[in-house]
Structure 1
């Protein structure tokens, strides 16, 4: 999905708690335009929006907060235990997210035709979004690192943390499909050095 002859769209993904958000922040600080699919997903389900109405109809009012906003923890508890319901949620939200991503990418390209756009998408390969980008980056980490981070960051028990990890495509499969791989287990200094070198390469491609 290239909006100008020079601009490139990079799909950034990884497993849960591999360090993908840290990598995205590093790219942003280096000058890339970063579009966060999770942030867009929160925006498109604000109360009263078409996606919000569809979610309320599909999952009931039990997944809403008192103010009408989607209770992400309650909804996550439902969809991470049921693959069919998770797919149902994805089918509701993803078209609205894709529309907003295209709008933001087009706007960024208008401002700077040679911009490097990083599209940060947890389910890049699972949802086929990799077919809409020019290149892909996968951030990996050992499963033990993912479990530790999820338990510390999200307060999950081991079973729930493992369920979150297993709800996504295995990291080794993602890595085989990637154009570039970054190790999210590296020290911040090592990771920043790798990201900086990769960004220089991407700028040459743009």
Structure 2
């Protein structure tokens, strides 16, 4: 088989990272949009200069690195500013991801390549992938997990969930769904079944 390119998405705090790790454990190669997003705003990168130019020095630490908490506090409460941030970061993220994907295809022609992209539907990237997998938990579980993970209030967690596309919509649009509401063992069983289905297509 030739390399199979899969888009992996879900909602905030749905457990995409857990599913990504399990896919890698069972033989897939991963291109992680969150990791790429961190890489493209390192000091010296063009995207960080653009962010600083728009949002000001307040989003930087004293050493000149990006203060994610300060930037997050600004954009998660203002959709227009979030859109501006995304207009800076998304093209840079996509370019670097596609470059990595092409390298993986050349080096590993008979494998599954998984692109973990939180905003895959929101950024209209569905056409780039041969199948879309959505990691699903209910909105209530998203909020519960986000409160614990980020140590934020229920209101803050609700706002962060609601700024994204509804998880139920993503579930309907998916080619495959991994329900991450249960135990790690239950999730891993679904991942193994998914890989078996993908390689048999």
Q: Which TM-score band applies after superposition, normalised by the shorter structure?
A: over 0.9
Q: Which residue of 1 aligns with 2:29?
A: 33
CA RMSD of aligned residues (A): 1.1
Contact persistence 1:19–1:185 (CA under 8 A): no
For 1:164, the equivalent position in structure 2 comes to 160
Gaps of 5+ in 2: none
**What SS does the aligned partner of 1:201 have?**
helix
Say whether 1:150 aligns with 2:146.
yes
Alpha-carbon shift at residue 117 of structure 1 (Å): 0.7
Partner of 2:82: 86
**Per-residue deviation, 1:144:** 2.0
Match of 1:105 among 96, 101, 106: 101
How far does residue 204 in structure 1 lie from its aligned partner after superposition?
Answer: 2.9
C-alpha displacement of 1:47: 1.2
Ranges of 4+ aligned residues in structure 1 off by more than 4 Å: none
Distance across 2 between alignment mates of 1:87 and 1:114: 37
| Number of residues of Structure 1 aligned to a counterpart in Structure 2 | 201
Aligned to 1:187, which of 170, 183, 199? 183
- Measured against aligned partners, the alpha-carbon deviations of 1:87-136 in whole angstroms (never above 9, x if no partner) come to 11111011111111111111111111122111001101001122211110
TM-score of the pair, normalised by structure 2: 0.96
Counterpart of 1:70 in structure 2 is 66
Q: CA deviation at 1:32?
A: 0.3
Structure 1 distance, partners of 2:116, 2:123, is 13
2: distance between equivalents of 1:163 and 1:67? 30
